[in-house]
Structure 1
């Protein structure tokens, strides 16, 4: 079996983590897999490009720069296509799966992608199309993250905020939503099979495009995390203050991190030591340790292993890998109410909490937190979580899906 994975980034972000993990696991199983990504930092080749086999950078720097500049006015990516891969795809001997992940974010024009798929399908009948939906972009006029907005249900009439990712200066979502949805219907007509790791994303897609059109395959931890997990010794409770972690790529973004809640945790003073992992931390205090953005997964997991809990307050994630990773290494997660957190925690018997409850839980030690969140002992929670978020299970579900296309 031949597989091409497509994602805007190679090794940054949750969707990239899933796509890259599928690529690596497929290679381990002897499948012929390649990973096509848009661009790395600054529109250049990804810093991780040489760390992984069979990866292809797709988008010229000028294309991504032009899309970034013009998206704020036009609300869509005007440039970028997959045409340079046409011969590679059509001349591949045997069945070929084109597996799309995140195609937005300044690297591809959606209409050109659909046209490419139509040409390929006409030329090579044994090409199969799969698209994993990691966010709500398929149902909205512009946004990837709805942040609680349900305007997409009525055609994105007036956007309540221009700052939802990808941000804009002028709102054209209502003008674009109908044409954009028709392009997704064209993909369905080509036989494209849609998958989401998230039940609520799948339900949103199915409400527009038809019952059962999007199936669910939950995310799992990647091969790197599994290797780290095998080496990490379970940590007992920390001594002294309760050690609480907050993790986000950009800690300033209030969609991912509730700043007021974090400041109230800091205000707990002597009872809590807050550890942040991410760029641009706005949090400070005698009981705050800002570690910065940690690109080394081993170092991040080792640091999280020392924590009593991870606090998760994102409103925009859909099936966040950081939760799967923390839970897999035996770190309890204290999450505020959200569909994403409920869905992930449910797999290991956990629950979410109101903000005032979070402020009480962060003062507890690891075993007490495990009991409160998962209603079981710390040891039982660790065993349950390690099994619940298996990346190997994710691969087996996807390979079975590929084979049954």
Structure 2
């Protein structure tokens, strides 16, 4: 079996983390695997390119730049295809799995992707198509994240915001949505198996394309994190005031970090110590420690290991790996109500809470937070969570899909 993982980025973002982990685990188990990514920062080669074996940068910088420039007017990526991979894929001996992840974000023209899949399937029938949906892009006219909008259910009549990712200057979602959905139906007709880590994303997809069309395989923590976990000493109880973490790539983005909630936590003063991890923190106060964006996973996990809890208030994530990682090292997560947080926390017996409850919970000790959210002792919660988010189980479920299609 030869596996190709496809994702717009190599090592940035949750989808990249899942695709890269599947690639590395497959190589570790002796399977032939390659990782094809679109581009790195600024359309260049990823800064992580040399860190991983069998990875291929796919898109010329000018293609990515053209898509970025024109997307704001056209609401879709006009350029980008897999045509140069046709010969190597069709000449590969034995079964080939093409496993797609995030193909949008200024990388590929969707129609060109479907035509390519049609062509390679006709030439080589033992090609298997798999597509993991890490967001809602497959059901909307344009957006990757619905951010509470349900306009996709009625054909994206009028977009309530032009700023939702990917942002535009002119709203063409209503004109594009029918054609886009037809392309996904054509992928289904080619035998593509759609998968999502999120129940709510799968439900949205199945409501449009038919029951059971998208199945669920939950994300698991990656190999690097598992190695870090093995070395981290469990911190049962910290000293002094509660240390509360807030983690996001860009801390200014209200969709990922509820700005008002963080400011209300800051207003608790010396009752808590607030630690932020991410770029562009707008939060400054005597009880705030801004660590910046930590690219070293070991350093981030070591820092989180010292926390009493992580507060998660994103309204746009679908199956956030940071929650799996924090829970796996025994850090309780205090999450506001969202489908994504509810789904992740339920795996280790936890629950989401209101914003008012967050402000009460962050003042408690680590064992008290574990008891309140997970209904058990800190030790039992830690043990339960360590087992709940296994990356090896994720690989086994995907390989089972590859083999059965």
Aligned to 1:32: 32
Separation in structure 2 between the aligned mates of residue 92 and residue 247 of structure 1, nearest angstrom? 43
TM score, norm. by length of structure 1: 1.00
TM-superposed CA distance for 1:319, in Å, is 0.4
Separation in structure 2 between the aligned mates of residue 41 and residue 301 of structure 1, nearest angstrom? 24
Give the 3-state SS of the residue equivalent to 2:299 in structure 1. Answer: helix
TM-superposed CA distance for 1:88, in Å, is 1.1
Aligned to 1:169: 169
Aligned to 2:198: 198
TM-superposed CA distance for 1:314, in Å, is 0.2
TM-superposed CA distance for 1:236, in Å, is 2.6
Number of aligned residue pairs: give it. Answer: 405
TM-superposed CA distance for 1:233, in Å, is 0.3
CA contact (8 A) 2:236 2:379 kept: no
Asked whether 1:70 is paired with 2:45, we answer: no
TM-superposed CA distance for 1:225, in Å, is 0.3
Within 5 Å, which residues of 2 pair with 1:390-405? 390-405=390-405
TM-superposed CA distance for 1:368, in Å, is 0.5
TM-superposed CA distance for 1:375, in Å, is 0.3
Separation in structure 2 between the aligned mates of residue 247 and residue 224 of structure 1, nearest angstrom? 19
Aligned to 1:158: 158
TM-superposed CA distance for 1:401, in Å, is 0.9
Separation in structure 1 between the aligned mates of residue 263 and residue 92 of structure 2, nearest angstrom? 55
Summarize deviations over 1:150-187 as a string: whole Å, max 9, x none: 00000000001111100111100000000000000000
Separation in structure 2 between the aligned mates of residue 370 and residue 88 of structure 1, nearest angstrom? 52
Aligned to 1:374: 374
Separation in structure 2 between the aligned mates of residue 400 and residue 188 of structure 1, nearest angstrom? 19
Aligned to 1:14: 14
Aligned to 2:254: 254
TM-superposed CA distance for 1:343, in Å, is 0.3
Within 5 Å, which residues of 2 pair with 1:104-119? 104-119=104-119
Give the 3-state SS of the residue equivalent to 2:383 in structure 1. Answer: helix
Aligned to 2:219: 219
Aligned to 1:178: 178
Separation in structure 1 between the aligned mates of residue 16 and residue 365 of structure 2, nearest angstrom? 33
Give the 3-state SS of the residue equivalent to 1:244 in structure 2. Answer: strand
Separation in structure 2 between the aligned mates of residue 51 and residue 268 of structure 1, nearest angstrom? 43
Runs of 4+ with deviation above 3 angstroms: none
TM-superposed CA distance for 1:237, in Å, is 1.7
Separation in structure 1 between the aligned mates of residue 329 and residue 168 of structure 2, nearest angstrom? 39
Aligned to 1:319: 319
Give the 3-state SS of the residue equivalent to 2:103 in structure 1. Answer: coil
TM score, norm. by length of structure 2: 1.00
Separation in structure 2 between the aligned mates of residue 192 and residue 400 of structure 1, nearest angstrom? 15
Give the 3-state SS of the residue equivalent to 1:246 in structure 2. Answer: strand
Separation in structure 2 between the aligned mates of residue 162 and residue 333 of structure 1, nearest angstrom? 32
Aligned to 2:361: 361
Give the 3-state SS of the residue equivalent to 1:53 in structure 2. Answer: coil
TM-superposed CA distance for 1:345, in Å, is 0.2
TM-align CA RMSD: 0.5
Within 5 Å, which residues of 2 pair with 1:220-235? 220-235=220-235
Give the 3-state SS of the residue equivalent to 1:195 in structure 2. Answer: strand
Separation in structure 1 between the aligned mates of residue 3 and residue 44 of structure 2, nearest angstrom? 24
Separation in structure 2 between the aligned mates of residue 200 and residue 48 of structure 1, nearest angstrom? 32
Separation in structure 1 between the aligned mates of residue 344 and residue 262 of structure 2, nearest angstrom? 22
TM-superposed CA distance for 1:103, in Å, is 0.3
Separation in structure 1 between the aligned mates of residue 81 and residue 285 of structure 2, nearest angstrom? 48
CA contact (8 A) 2:251 2:257 kept: yes
